Chains A and B, each alone.
Chain A
Amino acid sequence: MTSASHHSEVTLRVNGKPHTLRVDNRRVLLDLLREDLDLTGSKKGCDHGQCGACTVLADGRRVNSCLLLAVTLDGSEITTVEGLGGDGEEPHPLQRAFLDRDAFQCGYCTPGQLCSAVGLLAEAAAGHPSHVTDPAAPSGRPVPLDRTEIRERMSGNLCRCGAYPRIVGAIEDVIE
């Protein structure tokens, strides 16, 4: 057990690089990324888990980084929008598709949309159903993604510019 002091040491791998930091227990992952690691791609929208702008991948799953206390993530692998393309110069196919489709206007929600879409593709491939998946569909098989599925599965990411049709289109491009 760690002590009950108000600070803790935490080690995270962020975009493949290990970081050991002493954090205030109140520090949420989003603030750690932006303030401590200067990774400002992840955005603070509502700060209450309602908008999705802060979405990152934690151990491969999409999460709201504004609601995760950094201290609870010791040992986790975090991927932010800065790390989606890996080590190479090339952007992730989804980033390319967002550019090709012009799937944003102001761009503030885009990093969260991208990380969320990466998580979506993995979830569907792993057979995770959604609210709009036919309950009679066979369990445990990859779920085909049509526009209805994509819209439902992306509903945790708000876009106040209303770029939704092109966001859905960009995700469809990557699936095809």
Chain B
Amino acid sequence: MNGFGYLRPGTLQEAAEAYAAHPGARYLAGGTNLVDLVKLGVEQPTVLIDVGRLPLDTIEELPDGSLRAGATVRNSDLAADPRVRDRWPALSQALLSGASAQLRNVATTGGNLLQRTRCPYFQDLDKPCNKREPGSGCGARDGVHRDHAVLGHSARCIATHPSDMAVALAALDAQVELYGPEGTRRLPVADFHRLPGEHPERDTWIRPGELITAVLLPAATAGVPSAYRKARDRASYAFALASVAVALRVADGIVDQVGIAFGGLAHRPWRARHTELALLGAPATPDAFEGAVALELAHAEPLRDNAYKVSLARNLALDVLNRLAPATATA
């Protein structure tokens, strides 16, 4: 591990200025992923700019009924917030299904979105990886790829995004707020992460020097029944093999509002737009759910050893959809 400088700016503007002034700098918040990557040599920062103490650690209700969670709110605090638990339960459930209590006490909202893939080839400097070292190849494609992507992967990269939180945020139509030299902007969380394509080294659409300042949960999904379910290799404390977040509102037996996103299947949280389009206005029945989920997963392109993920994701989605649909509709 090479030495690095350490700066603790007092404001967002100072943070952005420090980033601009120090080539090779990285922002640091909870550090549960970044410090590990520095230890592994995957990240070699010249300077760490500590944004973990910026005043971004509050969760506040906005007049329009949305909820704004600051970027440095700890994952454990966001999961425990009564407003989140009561109105956007899939988010709380997703957070609690990720990592361990120790990590959730430190990991932040912003950092969770920006965490890197846990692909073992990405984390091992002795292996080729286009994400870590563009042009070096992908060791996983013909290697050990049981955990890897089945949707939206490219010849260059088959990594998955590891976050549970982001999957729930994508299904709940949350937005991410970004601060940069050119001002503040917002992006839907569902569109914040990229597919790997030709440039797997870029995980998201964030611009150099930009900082996540908050995540916004919209009023439109507040109180809509939602849930998160995750399948993993052990009962707790493991990344998703596949997961699903669903928000579903049914009126008179008809699907009135629906958001579905898969985790563990792609380079980003996979918003299941085909499923949603098929379900909107359709009867909330097991048959309708099954057909709609199949439409999405028909796009899957499994690799040699991960075809199991397609049926796993299907079963998870159907379970959660049927559970959220009012009993009268599924009878």
Q: Which residues of A pack against B, CB within 8 Å?
A: 1-6, 8, 24-26, 28, 47-49, 52, 55, 61-64, 67-69, 71-72, 116, 119-120, 123, 126-131, 133, 135, 139-140, 151-153, 155-157
Contact = CB atoms under 8 A, between A and B. Distances in A.
Contacts of B96: 129-131, 133
Contact of B103 (A64, A133, A153): A64
B308 interface: no
B143 interface: no
Interface string B24-62: 000010011001101100000001101010000000000
A129 B85 contact: yes
Contacts of B5: 3-6, 25
Contacts of A26: 1, 3-4, 38
Contacts of A71: 6, 50
20 contacts: A1-B8, A4-B6, A5-B5, A25-B6, A26-B4, A49-B103, A61-B105, A63-B102, A64-B103, A67-B32, A72-B28, A72-B31, A123-B101, A130-B101, A131-B236, A139-B82, A155-B100, A156-B100, A156-B101, A157-B100
Contacts of A1: 7-10, 14, 18
A21 to B, nearest CB: 14
Contact of A119 (B1, B31, B101): B101
B298 to A, nearest CB: 31
Contacts of B102: 49, 52, 55, 62-64, 116, 119, 156
Nearest to A56: B102
Contact of A24 (B3, B7, B39, B79): B3
A148 B39 CA distance: 34
Nearest to A4: B5
A135 B84 CA distance: 11
Contacts of A5: 5
B105 A68 contact: no
B236 A4 contact: no
Nearest to B98: A131
A155 B4 contact: no
B93 interface: yes
B236 A64 contact: no
B101 A127 contact: no
Contacts of B47: 4
A71 B49 CA distance: 11
A3 B18 CA distance: 11
Which of B76, B89, B100 has the most C-beta atoms of chain A within 10 angstroms of its own C-beta?
A: B100
Contacts, number: 126
B35 A67 contact: yes
Contacts of A140: 82
B160 interface: no
Given A1-B18, A25-B48, A135-B227, A127 B80 contact: yes
A41 B50 CA distance: 28
A64 B101 CA distance: 10
Nearest to A75: B53
A128 B100 CA distance: 13
Contacts of B80: 126-129, 139
A171 to B, nearest CB: 13
B89 A155 contact: no
A1 B51 CA distance: 12
A49 B99 CA distance: 10
A131 B93 contact: yes
B52 A6 contact: no
Contacts of A69: 6, 28, 31, 35, 48
Interface in B195-240: 227, 235-237
B112 interface: no
Nearest to A141: B82
Contacts of B6: 2, 4, 8, 25, 69, 71-72
B97 interface: yes
B35 A131 contact: no
Nearest to B106: A63
Given A5-B5, A135-B227, A157-B100, 6 more contacts: A2-B6, A4-B5, A26-B4, A64-B102, A68-B31, A72-B52
